[in-house]
């Protein structure tokens, strides 16, 4: 088994190199980074190929196979990032600088750190002679995750399913430690919400803005809808993941989610902010438009709302919760996106291995399934391969969840070197335990 100190060094050096590839999406330009990773994995003994939907934006699929059939474990990640405004940073976002025990740069948390840890662990294993006793170890690094995966995981799963078919996936989505009432917890993302973004429209009558009552202002009709969205939330509803988290927190629910939320709010408002989206449909108004000229009373106004829905719930469920908040009159509603969220079971051999690893590396800490308010590439694997168990887990202990979360997509993104070694050691131990 590779030594943690060596894994930490390898992961740190690889992460620094990856950050220096500017893969901001759009446009992505993932080719050079993917070729670098391909070279590392091929030299270690993996069979590799680059699969592209469009030129210059390949997805990397690397495999280490056994002679016998068995389970396929996929270490999944993406190499593209969101943009960065250098003027808001204290370092060059593409420098990969080492400072204060951390690697700094865009992608240090989301998610070139996990790319580096998974690839470093896989290469170290292969170089030491590891080969699965049965099945296959896959390392899949995708393009285009930050812009919807049209050229990445979605395309791979739809166009090349036999190349990425797997039984277990470890991806991004959770893993940072957090404390609550004397308990230490590691989350494992087992499910992701659906996206049902919609547009609300109000109608009126145009007129000259110098005579306010000559028209019927559609924009002012938005005011009560915005007030309702600010003042009320849809009925909270239990999900298996929220129930598991509340149990891990030691919060008694007894069928009263309002009371449970109130207790968490009193004890630690930071956790309440993260728990609330796990308890049902969320509605966040984000964009509004009306007249195109300042002197014209608008005859139509449109409000766009980001709506996230618990896994496996459909448009009818979303509409019912929206009408709870807004009523049924005074507007029209059009769904712009309909993506049903999905989940993996929480009681699996993969979860057992994660619990065992946490017990050995942080005795007394608790592992809990969690639900991600957004979604990752895991959803495409669950859709394509219904029996596949896909989890998000990148363990972090030196930087907890409350410090890490604001840095994702933010300025001065960074990750502790200590956590790079911790995560890489998890991936290096997981493959032999699952594949033999």
Domains parsed from the chain with CATH numbers: 4-180+342-435 (3.40.630.10), 194-335 (3.30.70.360)
pLDDT along the chain (436 residues), means of 10: 94 98 97 98 98 97 94 98 97 97 98 98 97 96 96 98 98 96 96 97 97 96 98 93 94 90 94 93 98 97 98 97 97 96 97 98 96 94 97 97 94 98 98 95
- The per-residue pLDDT for 241 is 95
Q: What CA–CA distance (Å, rounded) separates 107 from 120?
A: 16
| Crossing angle between the packed helical segments 315-326 and 223-231, to the nearest 10 degrees | 100
CA angle centred on 342, ends 176 and 197, rounded to 5°: 95
- The per-residue pLDDT for 227 is 98
Q: What CA–CA distance (Å, rounded) separates 436 from 425?
A: 17
Q: What CA–CA distance (Å, rounded) separates 49 from 35?
A: 10
Q: What CA–CA distance (Å, rounded) separates 144 from 139?
A: 17
- The per-residue pLDDT for 388 is 97
- The per-residue pLDDT for 154 is 97
- The per-residue pLDDT for 375 is 86
- The per-residue pLDDT for 48 is 98
pTM of the predicted model as reported, rounded to 2 decimal places: 0.94
Q: Strand 136-142 vs strand 58-65: parallel, antiparallel, or unpaired?
A: antiparallel
- The per-residue pLDDT for 168 is 98
Q: Which two tokens stand for residue 430?
A: 């997981």
């Amino acid at each position: 088994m590779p030594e943690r100190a060596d894994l930490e060094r390898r992961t740190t050096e690889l992460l620094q190199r990856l950050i220096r590839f500017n893969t901001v999406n759009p446009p992505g330009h993932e080719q050079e980074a993917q070729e670098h990773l391909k070279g590392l994995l091929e030299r270690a003994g993996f069979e590799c190929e680059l699969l592209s939907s469009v030129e210059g934006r390949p997805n990397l699929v690397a495999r280490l196979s056994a002679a016998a059939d068995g389970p396929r474990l996929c270490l999944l990640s993406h190499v593209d990032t969101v943009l960065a405004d250098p003027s808001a940073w204290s370092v060059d976002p593409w420098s990969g600088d080492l400072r204060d025990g951390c690697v700094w740069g865009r992608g240090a948390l989301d998610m070139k750190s996990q790319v580096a840890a998974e690839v470093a662990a896989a290469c170290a294993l292969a170089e030491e002679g590891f080969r699965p006793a049965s099945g296959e170890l896959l390392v899949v690094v995708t393009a285009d995750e930050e812009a919807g995966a049209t050229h990445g995981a979605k395309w791979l799963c739809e166009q090349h399913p036999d190349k990425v078919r797997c039984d277990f996936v470890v991806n991004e989505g959770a893993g940072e430690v957090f404390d609550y009432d004397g308990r230490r917890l590691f989350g494992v993302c087992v499910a992701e919400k659906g996206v049902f973004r919609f547009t609300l429209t109000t109608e009126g009558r145009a007129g000259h803005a110098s005579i306010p009552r000559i028209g019927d202002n559609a924009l002012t009709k938005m005011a009560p809808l915005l007030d309702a969205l600010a003042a009320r939330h849809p009925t909270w509803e239990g999900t298996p993941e929220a129930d598991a988290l509340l149990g891990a927190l030691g919060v008694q629910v007894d069928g009263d989610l309002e009371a449970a939320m109130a207790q968490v709010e009193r004890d630690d408002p930071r956790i309440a902010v993260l728990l609330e989206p796990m308890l049902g449909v969320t509605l966040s108004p984000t964009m509004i438009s009306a007249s195109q000229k300042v002197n014209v009373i608008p005859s139509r106004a449109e409000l766009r709302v980001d709506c996230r829905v618990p896994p496996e719930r459909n448009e009818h469920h979303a509409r019912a919760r929206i009408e709870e908040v807004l009523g049924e009159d005074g507007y029209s509603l059009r769904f712009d996106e309909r993506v049903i969220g999905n989940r993996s079971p929480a009681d699996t051999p993969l979860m057992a291995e994660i619990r065992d690893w946490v017990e050995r590396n942080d005795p007394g800490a608790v592992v809990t399934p969690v639900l991600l308010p957004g979604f990752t590439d895991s959803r495409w694997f669950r859709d394509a391969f219904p029996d596949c168990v896909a989890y998000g887990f990148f363990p972090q202990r030196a930087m907890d969840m409350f410090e890490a979360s604001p840095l994702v997509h933010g300025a001065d993104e960074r990750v502790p070197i200590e956590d790079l070694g911790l995560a890489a050691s998890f991936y290096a131990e997981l493959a032999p335990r699952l594949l033999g």
